[in-house]
Amino acid sequence: MWIERRALAAELPAVASLGTRPLAETLASLGFPVDAIEARPGTEVLDVDITANRGDAMSHRGLARDLAARLQQPLAVLLPSPVAEGEPQLPVRLLARACPIYATALLTLGKGRTPEMAQAFLTALGAAPKLLPAVDASNELLHRYGHPTHAFDADRIRGAVSVRMARPGETLVTLDGVERKLSPEDLVIADEGGPIALAGVMGGEGSKVTAKTRRVLLESAWFEARTVRATAHRHGLHTDASQRFGRGADAAMVPVARDLLIHRLEDWSGATLEGAWTAGAMPPPPSTVDLPKELLTRVAGEPLHLAEAAKALKALGCTVEAEPGHLRVLPPTWRHDLTLPEDLAEEVLRLRGYEHIPAVLPPLEGPPQPLSRDYLQRQALARRLAHLGFHQTVTYGFVSPEMDAAFPGPRGEAADEDRAGRTLTNPLGLEYSILRRSLVPSLVEVAKQNLKQGQREVRLFEIAPTFRGLSRGPVETWTVALVWAGERWDADPESKAGPVMAKHLLGTLKDVLKSTNQELAIHPIEDGAFLVAEFPIQAFRTPDDRIIPAFTPHSRFPAVERDLSLVVPATLTWQAMHDAVWIALVGTVLVDVACADLYQGKNLPAGTKAWLLRLTFQAMDRTLVGAEVDAWVASALNAAESLGAQLRA
């Protein structure tokens, strides 16, 4: 909201001698940060941020009130001479609870124009003057005092005026020229021909003041905040008026704003007052709130005197009665946000300045809680993958339907019949419309971008939830996905770069999946250009381990290694050989079976390959002798031969 310096000083003369920078700092320390300061002809304007709870501060007068309380300086007099009311010139009926009071006046306009000063004020705030005194004066009052008013062309009003809820099927063309279909929840001002204004939001085209207008009917009313908010929201009409009524207007301003408007029209245009009158009565005042001393002390962090609190609250317009141990506080009519003791404590601290709050670490009242295993496991996994050369990515949780169809996800569902349950009602666009069931399509996309950017090797991973659309709603599973693409590049000029092969990713998976017996699946995407793997993270869960595992003794006697050079069928798997040898040597002191060398080449018969099988034996209690080892090696060879292996000649 824009605030003009001179207009602020008109409400609080003390502001005139305050520099713009100290003024902005004072406003910020009261909870009204200044986003920008701009120069205007002969003055400066400040863009002040007003929080949603402070509708009362949405004007020069409103901010001046808080500044006056802080600076302990007096405000200017608001209304020197109230207008005397008379008999209604026109019946005004209040038919809805949402409008308890409606002050009005009938005036015949003169020939005068909007004064230069008022025009300059409106222009400085970015509100173009209309050069119609009735419109400009209402607008100027709104910015200066915060209470929205309206002027109707009295000669275009048919019969009695009522404030009522709209009737089904009624419409209204608002000032912006749009025809609005009204809802029975919209509060309207109506004449005998139907609605002429959306109460507290916008006037109607049919009754608006123009250059030809001779007589005006003024409106200064109080409309319930909730009703105005709903109407503004329903019609997408967020106006200066709806923002102020919608946050709660000051009912006490109803007659005051009407009188100020009359005075302006008399001054500016030479208007003649035909009569002023009010329908309805003031809404009930806010309730009193108690502020106990203990609560104030607790919130403030140090004992504050209730007398000091009372002084602060009075400065803000509250009526305060001191009672033993607490204050009994009646908030002013403009403060709808003061309903709890905490609200009052905040006011006391705010006026005093948050810089006076002491800084104290809260004492520990119970034992600290450990980090959850799930969380720790994810952190460890991310660190391990990063140390293995993978880069952690963060991609959006939603994807396009095409991307969603591209990969089945960590649980391997082939179909995507659950997609409806993962679809957003109001996505940013189709490309961000489905909660993803797999991280892979997003990762592959990122990998492609990286290759396009000239990266020789791309190693990426992401740890994020994936979604399944169940009937009760989407279910989330923490998931890890990896992609490896490009050349395997180890930065050693003496070793050759080569394409990434599945075994490289498998090795990584084996490392990070350690204790799981999950089947390690690598998926080649786009003919193997991208190797990917994806797993739900529960799969990694390890049993609750000890800090240090139970001691396992190791042998202090020498190990004996024996090699068997075998020619085996090309189709034979290492796992089969490994298992067969272990089974054949159960009960012996075999400690390892490894393939020490692989040979595939023209020296071998077709359909075969050669493995150098290395057996390691070691006993816990003695040095092994040649003969017993020979016997075990012979058994191993028998087992190998049963799989079609032959000793190489």
Residues 350-379 that bind another protein (CB under 8 A): 350, 354-355, 357-372, 375, 379
The reply to whether 193 sits near another protein by the rule CB under 8 A is no
The reply to whether 632 sits near another protein by the rule CB under 8 A is no
CB 598 to another protein: min, Å: 10
Q: Which of positions 494-513 make contact with another protein (CB under 8 A)?
A: 494-495
DSSP notation for 154-222: GGG--S-EEEEEPPTT-EEEBTTS-EEE--TTSEEEEETTEEEEETTTEEBGGG---TT--EEEEEEEE
Looking at beta carbons only, is 454 or 549 nearer to another protein? Answer: 454
CB 480 to another protein: min, Å: 13
Collapsed DSSP state (helix, strand, coil) of residue 560 = strand
The reply to whether 345 sits near another protein by the rule CB under 8 A is yes
Cα–Cα dist 544/372, whole Å = 12
Looking at beta carbons only, is 392 or 542 nearer to another protein? Answer: 392
State the amino acid at position 478 in one-letter form.
Answer: W
Q: Which of positions 237-256 make contact with another protein (CB under 8 A)?
A: none
Q: Which long-range contacts (CB under 8 A, 24 or more apart) does 44-52 make?
A: 44/4, 44/5, 44/20, 45/2, 45/3, 45/4, 45/5, 45/124, 45/125, 46/2, 46/3, 46/5, 46/20, 47/1, 47/2, 47/3, 48/1, 48/2, 48/3, 49/1, 50/1, 52/247
Looking at beta carbons only, is 89 or 477 nearer to another protein? Answer: 477
The reply to whether 420 sits near another protein by the rule CB under 8 A is yes
CB 385 to another protein: min, Å: 6
Site map for another protein, 550-579, x if CB under 8 A?
-------------x-x--------------
Distances (CA, A) of 340 to 65, 316, 325, 328, 353: 21, 16, 17, 12, 20
The reply to whether 490 sits near another protein by the rule CB under 8 A is yes
Closest CA to 247 of 335, 359, 127: 335
The reply to whether 583 sits near another protein by the rule CB under 8 A is no
Looking at beta carbons only, is 446 or 572 nearer to another protein? Answer: 446
CB 604 to another protein: min, Å: 10
The answer to whether the beta carbons of residues 397 and 436 sit under 8 Å apart is yes
The reply to whether 29 sits near another protein by the rule CB under 8 A is yes
Q: Which stretch binds another protein (CB under 8 A): 74-82, 204-212, 266-274, 335-343?
A: 335-343
Burial of 574 (0-12, 13-18, 19+ CB in 10 A): middle
CB 239 to another protein: min, Å: 15
Of 110, 280, 283, 421, the residue at the interface with another protein (CB under 8 A) is 421
Cα–Cα dist 341/339, whole Å = 7
The answer to whether the beta carbons of residues 333 and 316 sit under 8 Å apart is no
Determine the Cα angle at 646 with ends 644 and 649, to 5°.
160
CB 551 to another protein: min, Å: 31
DSSP strand E in 7-50: where? Answer: 34-40, 43-48
Looking at beta carbons only, is 136 or 534 nearer to another protein? Answer: 534
Of 510, 515, 597, 644, the residue at the interface with another protein (CB under 8 A) is 597
Q: Which of positions 267-296 make contact with another protein (CB under 8 A)?
A: none
Q: Which of positions 40-79 make contact with another protein (CB under 8 A)?
A: 51-54
DSSP code for 244: H
Looking at beta carbons only, is 127 or 406 nearer to another protein? Answer: 406
Q: Which of positions 76-115 make contact with another protein (CB under 8 A)?
A: none
Looking at beta carbons only, is 358 or 587 nearer to another protein? Answer: 358
Of 47, 599, 619, 624, the residue at the interface with another protein (CB under 8 A) is 599
Looking at beta carbons only, is 78 or 598 nearer to another protein? Answer: 598
CB 77 to another protein: min, Å: 28
Question: Tokens for 446?
Answer: 């990122």
Determine the Cα angle at 109 with ends 103 and 111, to 5°.
150
The reply to whether 385 sits near another protein by the rule CB under 8 A is yes
The answer to whether the beta carbons of residues 1 and 8 sit under 8 Å apart is no
Q: Which stretch binds another protein (CB under 8 A): 130-138, 203-211, 299-307, 573-581?
A: 299-307
Of 423, 516, 588, 616, the residue at the interface with another protein (CB under 8 A) is 423
Give residue for tokens 């063309």.
173
Q: Which of positions 429-458 make contact with another protein (CB under 8 A)?
A: 432, 435, 446, 449-450, 453, 455, 458
Collapsed DSSP state (helix, strand, coil) of residue 255 = helix
Looking at beta carbons only, is 120 or 624 nearer to another protein? Answer: 624
CB 415 to another protein: min, Å: 18
CB 497 to another protein: min, Å: 12
